[in-house]
């Protein structure tokens, strides 16, 4: 193993711990907050943008019905679905809002969220993706934290996987959570550079103050842009991991959907975080490649005394990856020791996303072709 690899691999391994040091538990975030069972609890409106979510939305609506807190409204904005999404929403007791024709200059999710917000009456707005579901008392945990923190609270759901191909999302999850500098070793001394889109919470007053989803209407990754709007107004942005409160299953309909889903955002997201943290994230991913390639080379031409350094470094990365995944999702036990497989998949799909976003100028999602060329050259934090 080359000397420079012996130096860089351990160094980049430490970078990984810096980037994803600790995701705070919900009990810690709510300490000292108001009691959601009390009379001072504000009215809560939940807005769910949905496009062809017939098979994914039932767990969310079922979970909302069994919460310790009852929202005043659950609004499902049906974004011109071609399946039974609207019927499912009605049958399960949600308020159905058929989406109007999307105006020029808007993207689908911001448009659906904006319509839902306009028809809501709650003092607190919670936007939830249709493929999420709340754990028992999950809504109460989220509201407790929001009442203490204020501003914009965003939650990355705990990623539940079932099929073998879903394990290929491992590195996307790690990079997505680590890259926004919300869970570093420096804690809250660094403001997050982005937010998480599956769950966003804010007051109606502050939502309208920053412009809401109307202010991010052209964005594919509206979560990043919305967090930026709040930051510009000097309002706090807080990020949490969903473990114990909010979960989801991403891209459960096959490998093709998984590739299309991650291709949609990675090319934009990679250039939307702060340059320093992009560099640190790239360094950690590079360290994973160094560890994997060094072990493979040593196994091809084994020399037993020389095999120990790359083997130790490889196992160190495997243990670190397993520890990271344990915080952010439920993955199979073998993903960490076989991490070169999802690592290579991550690199290929990210390259595909960069080409689609910055060369071809378009991405595809939910039967729509979304132009991205107008975003070239822009850096968003």
pLDDT at 381: 28
Tell me if 164 sits within 8 A of 332, measured CB to CB. yes
Express as a percent the part of the chain with pLDDT over 90: 69
Integer Cα distance of 237 and 149 in angstroms: 8
pLDDT at 372: 67
Q: Which residue has the higher pLDDT, 33 or 187?
A: 187
**Residue 187: pLDDT over 90:** no
Q: Give 360-369 pLDDT, tens digit per residue.
A: 776 666 666 6
Q: What mean pLDDT comes out for the span 75-103?
A: 94
pLDDT at 270: 66
Cβ atoms < 10 Å from Cβ of 205:
9
pLDDT at 374: 45
pLDDT at 359: 80
pLDDT at 29: 62
Q: Which residue has the higher pLDDT, 5 or 146?
A: 146
Cross-strand pairs, 75: 47, 95
**Residue 35: pLDDT over 60:** no
**Residue 164 — pLDDT band, cuts 50, 70, 90?**
very high
Map residue 318 onto helix, strand or coil. helix
pLDDT at 105: 87
Segments of 55-169 assigned E as strands: 73-78, 95-98, 124-128, 132-134, 152-156, 158-160
Cross-strand pairs, 46: 74, 126
pLDDT at 219: 84
pLDDT at 369: 65
What tokens does 183 get? Answer: 């869970």
pLDDT at 44: 96
Q: Give 124-144 pLDDT, tens digit per residue.
A: 999 999 999 999 999 999 999
Full set of structural domains in the chain with CATH:
3-19+273-372 (no CATH), 26-255 (3.90.550.10)
φ, ψ for residue 98, nearest 5 deg: -65, 130
Q: Which residue has the higher pLDDT, 361 or 83?
A: 83
pLDDT at 293: 95
**Residue 37: pLDDT over 50:** no
What tokens does 186 get? Answer: 């420096």
Q: Give 280-321 pLDDT, tens digit per residue.
A: 999 999 999 999 999 998 888 777 777 889 999 999 999 999
Q: Give 222-251 pLDDT, tens digit per residue.
A: 888 899 999 999 999 999 999 999 999 998
φ, ψ for residue 234, nearest 5 deg: 60, 30
| Terminal C-alpha separation, the chain | 38
Tell me if 161 sits within 8 A of 249, measured CB to CB. yes
Cross-strand pairs, 241: 156
Residues with Cβ within 8 Å of 317's Cβ and at least 6 positions away in sequence, in order, are 9, 13, 287, 288, 291, 292, 339
Cross-strand pairs, 153: 201, 238
**Residue 30: pLDDT over 70:** no
Cβ atoms < 10 Å from Cβ of 380:
18
Q: What mean pLDDT comes out for the span 74-88?
A: 94
How does the average pLDDT of the chain come out, rounded?
89
Segments of the chain assigned E as strands: 44-50, 73-78, 95-98, 124-128, 132-134, 152-156, 158-160, 199-203, 237-241, 246-248, 329-330, 362-365, 368-371
Q: Give 325-377 pLDDT, tens digit per residue.
A: 999 999 999 999 999 999 999 999 999 888 888 787 766 666 666 666 544 33
pLDDT at 91: 95
Q: Give 90-102 pLDDT, tens digit per residue.
A: 999 999 999 999 9
pLDDT at 264: 81
Q: What is the pTM of this model?
A: 0.90
């Amino acid at each position: 193993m080359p000397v420079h690899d012996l130096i860089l691999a351990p160094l980049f391994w430490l970078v990984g711990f810096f980037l994803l040091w600790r995701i705070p538990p919900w009990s810690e975030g709510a300490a000292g907050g108001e009691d959601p069972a009390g009379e001072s609890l504000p009215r809560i409106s939940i807005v769910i943008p949905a496009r062809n979510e017939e098979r994914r939305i039932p767990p969310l609506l079922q979970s909302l019905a069994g919460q310790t807190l009852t929202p005043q409204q659950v609004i499902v904005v049906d974004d011109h679905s071609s399946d039974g999404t609207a019927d499912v929403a009605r049958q399960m007791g949600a308020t159905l809002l058929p989406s109007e024709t999307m105006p020029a200059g808007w993207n689908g999710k911001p448009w659906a969220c904006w319509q839902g917000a306009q028809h809501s009456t709650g003092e607190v707005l919670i936007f939830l993706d249709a493929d999420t579901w709340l754990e028992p008392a999950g809504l109460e945990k989220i509201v407790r934290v929001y009442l203490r923190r204020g501003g914009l609270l965003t939650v990355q759901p705990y990623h539940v996987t079932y099929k073998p191909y879903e394990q290929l999302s491992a590195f996307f999850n790690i990079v997505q959570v680590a890259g926004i500098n919300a869970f570093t070793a420096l804690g809250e001394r660094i403001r997050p550079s982005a937010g998480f889109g599956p769950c966003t919470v804010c007051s109606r007053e502050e939502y309208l103050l920053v412009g809401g989803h109307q202010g991010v209407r052209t964005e594919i990754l509206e979560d990043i842009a919305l967090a930026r709007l709040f930051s510009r107004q000097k309002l706090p942005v807080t990020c949490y991991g969903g473990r114990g409160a909010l979960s989801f299953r991403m891209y459960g309909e096959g490998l093709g959907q998984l590739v299309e889903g991650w291709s949609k955002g990675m090319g934009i997201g990679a250039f939307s975080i702060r340059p320093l943290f992009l560099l640190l994230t790239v360094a950690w991913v590079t360290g994973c490649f160094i560890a994997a390639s060094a072990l493979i080379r040593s196994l091809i031409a084994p020399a037993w005394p020389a095999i120990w350094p790359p083997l130790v470094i490889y196992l160190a990365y495997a243990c670190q990856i397993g520890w990271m995944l344990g915080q952010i999702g439920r993955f199979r036990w073998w993903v960490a020791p076989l991490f070169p497989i999802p690592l290579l998949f991550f690199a290929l799909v990210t390259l595909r996303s960069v080409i689609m976003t910055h060369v071809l100028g378009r991405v595809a999602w939910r039967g729509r072709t979304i132009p991205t060329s107008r975003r070239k050259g822009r850096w968003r934090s």
